Amino acid sequence: MTGDRGPGKVHLVGTGPGTPDLLTVRAAKLLRNADVALYDSLVSPEILALLPETARKIHVGKRRSRHTLPQDDINHLMIELARKGARVLRLKGGDPFLFGRGGEEAEALAAAGVPFEVVPGITAAVGVAASARIPLTHRALAQSCTFVTGNLRDGTMNLDWPLLARARQTVAVYMGLMGLPVLCAKLIEHGRSPDTPAAIVQQGTTPQERIVIGSVATLPAMAEAAGLRAPTLILIGEVVALRDALSPDADGHVDTVS
């Protein structure tokens, strides 16, 4: 493959929630054949280790307010490298089209006329749910699951609270650790029961995974007491209570499991 130099191309690749064995086969194959990789902070060292030694590895950052490279510069760099004929991988945690700015990058590539492909990945909510044994939907408990970003803007979150506060649904919150107290207070204010089971999972699917289980009323204080740090995924809904039955070995009541 290495000698076969066609025109350059960009693959926007989702690398899943962290652990390399949750990569897709397609992503693993692309990693082994890349010339250059632009990666976010969420892409684990174990996954970067799959790149050829000769591949150029560029950290473009993107952890809360510590942007290593502005988005426009990332777009320009991808375009420039592809135009020079490189096989460029844009590696993103989880899935590129879920809270990963994959849409913006695809727009920039399309506008520049650079060929690109999107390789889906296991998004954090799906990986965390499996790892924590919390089904996202369940016939008796949750008919839908909503993925939202809990990023704080000016100390608050601009979300559709009446929708999220409805019972019989699961809410998966990305980037919600800082805003957890606001999130829970708003849900209660809009009618979600304070007793609704809720979980927060740090570094889900990795050996460093930590899980804190509580309720909408108790989770903010529990997460704080446990000293959790990003990346964390929050799951809210009656399905969280199923974990007890599905994890007979875990101390599944209100607790921290490291």
Task: Give Cα separations from 4 to 56, 86, 110 (angstroms).
Answer: 18, 11, 24
86/128 with CB nearer ligand SAH = 128
Write the DSSP assignment of 98-151 as a string of letters: SSSSHHHHHHHHHHHT--EEEE----HHHHHHHHHT--S-BTTTBSEEEEEE--
- Give the range of 76-84, 109-117, 157-165, 199-207 binding ligand SAH by CB under 6 A: 199-207
Binding track, positions 115-154, relative to ligand SAH; x by CB under 6 A? --------xx---x--------------------------
Q: How far apart are the first and last CA of the chain?
A: 43
176/197 with CB nearer ligand SAH = 176
* By the rule CB under 6 A, 39 interacts with ligand SAH: no
* By the rule CB under 6 A, 179 interacts with ligand SAH: no
* By the rule CB under 6 A, 75 interacts with ligand SAH: no
With beta carbons less than 8 A apart as the criterion, state whether 124 and 204 touch. Answer: yes
Residue whose Cβ sits closest to ligand SAH: 94
**Token couple for 94:** 């989880």
Helix residue ranges, H only, the chain: 25-32, 45-48, 71-83, 102-112, 124-132, 161-164, 180-189, 219-226, 242-246
The single residue among 79, 175, 213, 228 that binds ligand SAH, judged by CB under 6 A, is 175
The single residue among 93, 179, 197, 220 that binds ligand SAH, judged by CB under 6 A, is 93
Largest Cα–Cα distance of the chain, in whole Å? 61
* By the rule CB under 6 A, 197 interacts with ligand SAH: no
86/173 with CB nearer ligand SAH = 173
CB atoms within 10 A of CB 198: 30
| Site for ligand SAH, rule CB under 6 A | 17-18, 42, 92-95, 98-100, 123-124, 128, 174-175, 201, 203-206, 230-233
